[in-house]
Structure formats: structure tokens, C-alpha cells
């Protein structure tokens, strides 16, 4: 296993600086930064939970991709709608979900977002407009189109954001969802969170052409590419794109290039790539990059972001661990209205 | 009470529900021109192209859009043309629509009606003729409806549109033009309530969809020969009217299940097994199933007819059962 640096480096990457950005943006970016640490801390605690056998099924960590989650989802309004992927903890937190309920769901406990019936791959929080992670790659492309179609039919001004991975662009619903959204002029932000891997396979080895943005442009969607490890760039891009989508009711695509620092699942050692490659990518860790870019902010605020995030997520972990499993009869809750599943159990 | 075709009855149901509830909208290929069988003919004139929406040939999107819109509070009627094409959207139906409410811990409802016409019709051949209702009855979360006549096609479709569960609604292509009396206004047929088409004391036939109509013909034939058959139209496969079936078989002591679908793994097996489990001591003869051989549906009439279930086959099977246990 790789050792993950938890300390932001004192001298991070050069290049990004907050200098010259208006004060209102500084507050927003600082909030994004705090969210990134909450995501990192949540997932590190979830991985601890996996080792301790508190997390029961597969989890898909997004460590290294936090700038996409924060830069995209923190720029949605509360009544905007989000659909995510199996690697969706970060998106869900950044849309406003409660980490205690999320950790309970990962541990299969009562009071989890889905009452322990979903787990990591089906986390949803409709209260904050998060209409679900999905265990099937690409499935949310068309469901997102439906959510946006409902918004359009009702003349609402909400935006749907559909995040998917680079592996999803080889599934049929990618094309079907993009085409549908374009034909009907639906207010959807499609975000390809391109981490370079389709499960354990390098996406470029199984994908023709340059990827999501090129495919989107080929059917007339405006698409923007952005460095997904650059919080300020993601923030700037997404704010501009969301404004256009809301004003013009049309789909657009953001292709955010990032890197999955962990394996496909929490138990995948990712031995199919070299230590050297991963170490190089750790030098691009978005946490460090954001800390560097925000270095004009008071250092104690940055330090506090990290410490507060770990304290919060340790509390979430402890609370979830101390919560009971759901009573067995809840296995038959919410199957459907028509026809009781219990009477059919022979 | 008006006399109208099975097709007109469905069109009436959709129109009435769209007038009643602005959240109801229909999407699918060719709907603006009435749909493949003209079962939506004229609706675009009343409701406009937004609510009677033409879709691209994108089955995953048609069904998936229905799921997403339903999760946002709409009540979509999703037209799949024929049930064979709906297989291109099996993920959207089985993994998404059927599971969303459960796996999201009750946060979601997916009140969609997925219309999937079924059955053998006009040499449709292997990819346009299947009856796959058993697949969906097997999936927790789904309601499965197979109407056999015009009145039910109005009453069940209206109920389906108001149902908060995802519904697989399987009309039979062969009876689009068959007329029948249809109640006016808010005619709602409840789910899980079978329809006894003919009362009898010697044998119970359980069937659904167009096959049940052939069973009624067969029952008349054998009645002339002194065999008194009760014919039950199950109407909905999930939920299914177990109480009605069990009470009928308890009375007659004999059961024949008839469906156009392939016999192997068909829903007839579920009914037969239930009756065998619950009524073993009351049976006068072994439970029988009549379904298609496990072969695709062919094109040429001489071949196609080899997998069809006809009234004379039903009558022969009934006579065989009744004579068999007398010998």
C-alpha cells in the first residue's frame, strides 16, 4: 500500500495563485477547499472502516479527485439535481449530504441515507437534490436526461448535473443521453470525471478517439476541457458553464482530467501501474495544489480546514460504528406498493 | 357504456388521464403520428408535442428518461413499440426502475407505465413476437399487467397510470382491433383482481392476455360435450389473484394454465406450483400447463402456427385431463 501524505506541503506546486481574485471568490474557494478536506477525510476514514470490516461491501475511493467534486457540486444550487457514479462519496458530500448518514450507510446501519438497503454504490440524498449514485456504469446518463426533461416540462430553472467516469463513454447510454439532452434542449451539465481508468483497465487502451469532450462536440454540444486537479480552474469553468446552461436551457459537457490515486475499489492494490507513476501523480495531489493556490489565505484557516475535516469524519465514523444494524423486517420495506413480498416468501 | 376496440380503449385511457393529471406525459417513437399501432392517434392534437413526445430510436434513453422524470414527480407513459425492443432497455427497467425506491431507502418513487405490446401477430417472426411477461413477474418492484379485452385495457391502463410502482403494461398486438363494451368515465380496474369470464365446476383454466380469449372459445366447445369449465382471466401477473385461483381450483379439483409464452419457465409454472403446494389433497387430476414449445417464433405460417396456442389445443387438453382422471 502506498503511504498517503496527510500534511499539505509547505511549498506546493507553483502556477496557481489566488492573487487578484475578488474577495467573494476567495470565500467560496476557501469553502471548496474545506469541502475537499472533508471528502479526503471521509474517504480515508471509510478505508479505515473497510480494514476494520465495518464497511461491508465494495467502496470506490475518489482520493485524488476531490477538486472535481468540490469544484462542480459546490457550485450547484440546493434545488439543482445531481446524479453520480459508484465513485460518488465526494460528489454526495459536496452536494450537501450528511456524512454521519453516509458513514452509517457504508456500515449498513440504521439511519443511513438509504436505511442500510443501498450501501456506498447507491448513496442518495433526495433532500439535497442528490438523486443517487449508481452501481451500473453510464446508467445515470439517461436518468439525468429524464430529470432534466421533467424540469423543462415544468418550466423550472433548475439544472441537472450528471457526473460520469471516462469508462462510461463506451456505453450506449452515454450517446443516448447526450443526444436526447441536445435534441430536447435540456439543462444538463455533463461532467466526465476522467481519472484514466475504467475499473482496472487504462481507458485509453479500450477507447477510440480523444474521449468525452470530442464525442460530445461531434453531436453539437459545447464541451470544455479542464485540469480536474486544479480547483480554481474547475470552479471557474463550472460556474461559467452552469450559468450558460441555466440561461439557455441546453446541455454542455465539462471534461475534467484527473487521476485516481487509489485502486478501483478500496481493496484493489492497483498493481497494474508502477509505483513510480503513482508517486509522480501524488506530486499533483489536488489537496496540495489547492493549498498552494490559496496560500494568500490565512495559514491557520487552511490548517483548520484539514483538522476540522478529520475531527468531523472521526465523529461520523464513531457514530456510525455505534449505531445498530436495521431490524431484519426492514428487508421488505419499500419494495413496492402492490403485492407484499413477505406473503410470497415460501 | 360504449363499444370500442381494444386500441381505442387504451387511447381513451391515456387521454382521460392526461386531462386529469398534468404530470402524465407520453414518450416514445412515432407518437406524433399515433405510434406504431396508432394507439396514440390524435393525442398530439389535443396535448401537443411536448406531452406526446417523439423520441429517437434510443430504447435506453426512452426508458431511462422515464425513470429520471418519474423520480422528479412526473408520471411518464413510456412506449417501447414491442416488448422485444424493450430488451434494449432492460437495465433501465430491471436495475433502475424496479430498484430505485428500495435501494435509495424509500426516497424515490418511479411511477412509470412501460407499454410493451407482446405476442404473435402477422408473421412478426423471432424478434417481434415474444411474450416475456414471466421475466418481469420475477423482478421485485415491478407490476405486470396483461389485459385481454377492451374494457380492461381502459380500466387497467388508467389504474397503471395512477399506480406509484413501475408498471410493465403488456397489450397483445393480435387484439388491437377487437371490439367490446367499455364503461364510460373513471373506469378503474384494480390490480390483483382476476376476472372470472365463465363459471364452471369441472375444471379451472387460468390464463391472461389474448390466450384467455381462446380459452373461452375452447370452454364453449367442451361445454357442448358436457365438460363445464371455469375460465379465469388473471389480468395482472403481479400482483396475482392467488385467492381467486385457489378457491376456484378447490371447487373444480382440476387446473389447466394456458399462456402464449414458452411453457418452460413461464408464469404458468408459478401458478401450477402454488396450486400443487396449497391444494394437493383437493386435486382430482395432476395440474397441467399449456404453453409454447421452447423455440423462437418463425415467419412462415406453417412454422409460426407450430408455437401458437389455439382454442382447439386448449379444448383437446381439457378433454384429455377430464378423461384421463376418469380412466
- Measure B106 CA to nearest chain A CA, in Å: 5
CA–CA distances in Å: residue B260 to residues B146, B210, B263, B290: 12, 8, 8, 8
CA–CA distances in Å: residue A290 to residues A190, A234, B271: 24, 11, 63
- Whether chain A has a CB inside 8 Å of the CB on B168: the answer is no
Is B64's pLDDT higher than 90?
yes
A142 with B68: Cβ contact below 8 A:
yes
List the grid coordinates of A114: 438509504
Which ipTM value was assigned to this complex? 0.96
- B50, A144, A148, B66: CA torsion to nearest 10: 30
- Given A153, A172, A184, which is nearest B74 (Cβ)? A153
Is A21's pLDDT higher than 50?
yes
Distance CA A120, CA A174 (A): 23
Cell 457504508 found at: A106
Q: What is the DSSP string of B155-175?
A: HHHHHHHH-SS-EEE--BGGG
Residue of A nearest to B62 (CA): A142
Q: Are A230 and A285 in contact (CB under 8 A)?
A: no
- Given B69, B141, B191, which is nearest A335 (Cβ)? B141
Which pLDDT band holds residue B225 (cuts at 50, 70, 90)? Answer: very high
Q: How much is the mean pLDDT over chain B?
A: 97
| Short-list A76, A58, A108, CA closest to A254 | A76
- Whether chain A has a CB inside 8 Å of the CB on B185: the answer is no
The H or E element containing residue A142 is: helix A140-153
pLDDT on residue A342: 67
Spell out which residues of chain B touch residue A177, defining contact as CB-CB under 8 Å: 61, 64
Spell out which residues of chain A touch residue B55, defining contact as CB-CB under 8 Å: 180
How many CB atoms neighbour CB A240 within 10 A?
A: 14
Is B165's pLDDT higher than 60?
yes
Residue of A nearest to B55 (CA): A180
Cell 380459452 found at: B215
At A161, is the secondary structure helix, strand, or coil? strand
Q: Are A115 and B106 in contact (CB under 8 A)?
A: yes
List the grid coordinates of B297: 417464433
Portion 82-141 of A in contact with B at CB < 8 A:
83, 112-118, 122, 124-126, 131-132, 134-136, 139, 141
Q: Are A67 and A231 in contact (CB under 8 A)?
A: yes
- Whether chain B has a CB inside 8 Å of the CB on A229: the answer is no
Q: How many helices and strands, by DSSP H and E, does chain A display?
A: 11, 7
Q: Are A91 and A109 in contact (CB under 8 A)?
A: no
Least confident of A103-112, A296-305, A331-340: A296-305
User: pLDDT (tens digit, 9 = 90+) per residue, A57-98?
Assistant: 999 999 999 999 999 999 999 999 999 999 999 999 999 999
Angle at A16 between CA A228 and CA A304, to 5 degrees: 85
- Measure B240 CA to nearest chain A CA, in Å: 8
Least confident of A300-309, B99-108, B180-189: A300-309
User: pLDDT (tens digit, 9 = 90+) per residue, A212-228?
Assistant: 999 999 999 999 999 99
Q: Are A224 and A252 in contact (CB under 8 A)?
A: yes
Portion 191-250 of B in contact with A at CB < 8 A:
191-192, 238-240
| Short-list B268, B32, B6, CA closest to B121 | B6
Residue of A nearest to B278 (CA): A346
Helix A172-184 vs helix A140-153: crossing angle, to nearest 10:
10
Residue of B nearest to A337 (CA): B165
HSE on the CB side for B120, CA within 13 Å? Answer: 21
Distance CA B152, CA B149 (A): 6
A143 with B96: Cβ contact below 8 A:
yes
List the grid coordinates of B61: 434513453
pLDDT on residue A4: 46
Spell out which residues of chain A touch residue B101, defining contact as CB-CB under 8 Å: 334-336
Q: Are A66 and A127 in contact (CB under 8 A)?
A: no
CA–CA distances in Å: residue A326 to residues A74, A109, A117: 32, 6, 9
Residue B128 bears catalytic tag: yes
B64 with A143: Cβ contact below 8 A:
yes
| Short-list A345, A285, A308, A338, CA closest to A31 | A308
Amino acid at each position: 500500500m502506498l503511504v498517503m501524505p496527510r500534511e499539505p506541503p509547505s511549498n506546493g506546486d507553483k502556477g496557481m495563485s489566488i492573487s487578484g481574485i475578488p474577495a467573494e471568490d476567495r470565500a467560496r474557494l476557501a469553502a471548496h477547499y474545506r469541502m475537499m478536506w472533508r471528502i479526503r477525510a471521509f474517504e480515508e476514514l471509510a478505508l479505515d472502516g473497510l480494514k476494520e470490516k465495518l464497511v461491508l461491501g465494495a467502496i470506490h475511493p475518489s482520493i485524488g479527485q476531490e477538486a472535481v467534486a468540490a469544484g462542480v457540486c459546490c457550485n450547484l444550487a440546493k434545488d439543482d439535481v445531481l446524479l453520480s457514479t459508484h465513485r460518488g462519496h465526494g460528489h454526495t458530500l459536496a452536494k450537501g449530504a450528511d456524512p454521519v448518514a453516509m458513514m452509517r450507510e457504508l456500515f449498513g446501519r440504521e439511519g443511513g441515507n438509504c436505511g442500510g438497503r443501498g450501501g456506498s454504490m447507491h448513496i442518495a440524498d433526495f433532500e439535497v437534490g442528490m438523486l443517487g449514485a449508481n452501481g451500473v456504469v453510464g446508467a445515470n446518463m439517461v436518468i439525468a436526461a429524464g430529470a432534466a426533461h421533467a424540469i423543462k416540462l415544468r418550466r423550472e430553472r433548475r439544472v441537472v448535473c450528471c457526473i460520469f467516469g471516462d469508462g462510461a463513454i463506451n456505453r450506449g447510454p452515454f450517446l443516448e443521453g447526450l443526444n436526447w439532452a441536445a435534441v430536447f434542449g435540456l439543462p444538463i451539465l455533463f461532467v466526465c470525471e476522467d481519472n484514466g481508468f475504467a475499473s482496472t483497465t487504462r481507458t485509453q487502451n479500450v477507447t477510440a478517439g480523444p474521449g468525452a469532450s470530442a464525442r460530445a462536440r461531434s453531436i453539437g454540444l459545447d464541451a470544455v476541457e479542464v485540469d480536474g486537479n486544479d480547483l480554481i480552474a474547475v470552479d471557474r469553468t463550472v460556474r461559467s458553464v452552469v450559468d450558460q446552461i441555466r440561461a439557455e436551457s441546453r446541455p454542455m459537457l465539462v471534461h475534467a482530467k484527473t487521476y485516481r490515486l487509489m485502486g478501483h475499489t478500496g481493496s484493489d492494490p492497483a498493481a497494474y501501474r508502477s509505483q513510480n507513476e503513482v508517486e509522480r501523480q501524488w506530486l499533483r495531489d489536488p489537496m496540495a495544489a489547492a493549498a498552494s493556490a490559496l496560500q494568500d489565505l490565512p495559514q491557520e484557516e487552511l490548517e483548520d480546514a484539514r483538522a476540522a475535516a478529520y475531527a468531523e469524519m472521526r465523529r461520523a465514523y464513531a457514530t456510525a460504528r455505534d449505531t445498530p444494524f436495521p431490524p431484519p423486517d426492514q428487508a421488505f420495506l419499500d419494495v413496492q406498493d402492490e403485492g407484499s413480498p413477505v406473503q410470497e416468501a415460501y | 357504456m360504449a363499444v370500442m376496440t381494444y386500441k381505442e380503449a387504451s387511447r381513451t385511457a391515456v387521454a382521460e388521464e392526461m386531462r386529469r393529471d398534468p404530470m402524465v406525459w407520453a414518450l416514445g417513437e412515432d407518437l406524433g403520428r399515433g405510434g406504431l399501432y396508432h394507439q396514440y392517434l390524435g393525442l398530439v392534437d389535443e396535448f401537443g408535442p411536448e406531452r406526446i413526445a417523439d423520441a429517437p430510436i434510443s430504447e435506453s434513453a426512452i426508458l431511462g428518461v422515464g425513470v429520471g422524470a418519474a423520480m422528479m414527480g412526473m408520471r411518464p407513459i413510456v412506449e417501447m413499440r414491442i416488448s422485444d425492443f424493450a430488451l434494449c432497455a432492460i437495465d433501465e427497467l430491471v436495475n433502475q426502475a424496479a430498484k430505485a425506491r428500495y435501494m435509495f431507502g424509500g426516497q424515490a418513487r418511479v411511477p412509470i407505465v412501460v407499454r410493451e405490446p407482446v405476442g404473435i401477430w402477422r408473421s412478426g417472426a423471432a424478434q417481434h413476437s415474444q411474450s416475456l411477461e414471466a421475466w418481469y413477474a420475477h423482478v421485485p418492484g415491478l407490476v405486470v399487467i396483461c389485459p385481454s379485452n377492451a374494457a380492461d385495457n381502459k380500466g387497467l391502463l388508467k389504474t397503471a397510470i395512477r399506480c406509484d410502482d413501475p408498471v410493465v403494461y403488456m397489450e397483445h398486438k393480435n387484439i388491437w382491433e377487437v371490439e367490446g363494451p367499455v364503461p364510460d368515465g373513471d373506469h378503474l380496474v384494480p390490480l390483483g383482481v382476476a376476472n372470472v369470464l365463465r363459471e364452471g365446476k369441472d375444471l379451472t383454466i387460468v390464463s391472461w392476455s389474448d390466450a384467455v380469449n381462446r380459452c373461452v372459445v375452447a370452454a364453449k366447445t367442451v361445454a357442448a360435450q358436457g365438460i363445464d369449465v371455469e375460465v379465469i382471466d388473471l389480468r395482472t401477473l403481479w400482483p396475482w389473484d392467488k385467492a381467486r385461483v385457489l378457491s376456484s381450483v378447490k371447487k373444480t379439483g382440476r387446473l389447466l394454465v394456458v399462456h402464449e409464452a414458452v411453457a418452460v419457465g413461464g408464469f404458468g409454472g408459478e401458478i401450477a406450483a402454488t396450486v400443487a403446494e396449497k391444494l394437493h389433497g383437493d386435486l382430482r387430476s395432476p395440474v397441467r400447463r399449456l404453453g409454447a414449445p421452447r423455440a423462437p417464433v418463425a415467419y412462415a405460417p406453417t412454422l409460426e402456427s407450430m408455437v401458437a396456442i389455439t382454442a382447439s389445443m386448449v379444448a383437446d387438453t381439457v378433454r384429455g385431463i377430464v378423461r384421463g382422471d376418469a380412466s
